[in-house]
Amino acid sequence: MDNTLTPYIRQFSHLRTDRTGGWTVATQGQAPHKPILLLSVLDLFAQRRIIDNLIEITPELGELFASYWLKVLPERRGNMALPFFHLHSSGFWHLLPQPGQEAALQATRQVDTLRQLGKLALGARLDNDLFQLLQTAETRNALRTTLIQTYFAPEYHTTLLDLGEINLQTFVYSQHLIEQARKQIKETPGEDDIYQPIVRDQGFRRAVVRIYDHRCALCGVRMLTSDGRTAVDAAHIIPWSISHDDDPHNGMALCGLCHWTFDQGLLGVSARYMVVLSGELRIALNVPGHLQTLEGRSIIGPAEQALWPHVEALNWHHQNIFRPG
């Protein structure tokens, strides 16, 4: 083992964790926040999303944090702000203050929300030696194994190791979808390109949610929680069961209500990207609330015009799913 890695193996296996919160045997009776955040950071390094020595507080990091948390503690809420702040006691994690917030960050002893953390810190940097070590898969795998074996019960080890690989494949697939959409290319996948259903599902979701910046294309809502949840999901315009098409041009990011309403044909989008309402939305028994205000409004599409939905897909939805009423 590389002599520069040895001290980090020790630090990763001796994180200060809370043992008084009624934590379950799944997490060896201790709070899993810090190891889960570090597993998420390792995933970002594997995906080459961290180029400079700066770990930022992003929705992508939050989603990875949520994916690990749900595997071990689905009945409890996580809070990424807690480990992001308190990891500074580890010795290898260094918070970078926002300009003018140096003294405030130094004096702060507790952070409860990502909003509070974001006002104080730009993000965090790692020891330079650790940053360099994390450029190699062998080092990342050694540290990943240390975290999983130290902080989680044996029956979760394989699940958490597999999740790291699934997260990587999901990222690769999502990047592939976005790149092909930008090039206006459609490829028929060969046998070697067929992804697991979970990778395909999550890859399409991450690609679409990312290019829409976590904002609902129809109503505009954008909400993210401290445990990495987002209010929107990725909706196929022409359903996957019919199209088998994960092209982001065949998708929109929609909140739960708009997604259901769109799938039921009570909302649609015209060829000019205007929201249209079905007459059925206004029948006597319905109380559609704010959905009535969407009619005639332009959708909120991706910042890149080249990634907006294809008109052909919207027309198919209008002809086959939408209910004129």
At 21-78, the pLDDT tens digits run 889 999 999 999 999 999 999 999 999 999 999 999 999 999 999 999 999 999 999 9
Give the whole-angstrom CA distance, residue 129 versus residue 92.
Answer: 9
Q: Say whether pLDDT at 320 is over 80.
A: yes
Q: pLDDT value at position 299?
A: 98
Q: pLDDT value at position 141?
A: 97
Q: In the structure encoding, which two tokens stand for residue 207, read together?
A: 């690609």
Q: Say whether pLDDT at 191 is over 60.
A: no
Domain boundaries, the chain: 6-152, 196-320
Alpha helices in the chain (DSSP H): 6-12, 33-46, 59-72, 81-86, 102-107, 114-120, 128-133, 137-151, 157-183, 197-211, 240-243, 256-263, 311-320
What's the rounded mean pLDDT across residues 182-199?
71
What's the rounded mean pLDDT across residues 267-286?
93
Higher-confidence residue: 114 or 1?
A: 114
pTM over 0.85: yes
What's the rounded mean pLDDT across residues 274-291?
91
pLDDT bin (cut points 50, 70, 90) of residue 130 is very high
Q: pLDDT value at position 2?
A: 66
Q: What kind and span of H or E run contains 253?
A: strand 251-255
Q: pLDDT value at position 216?
A: 98
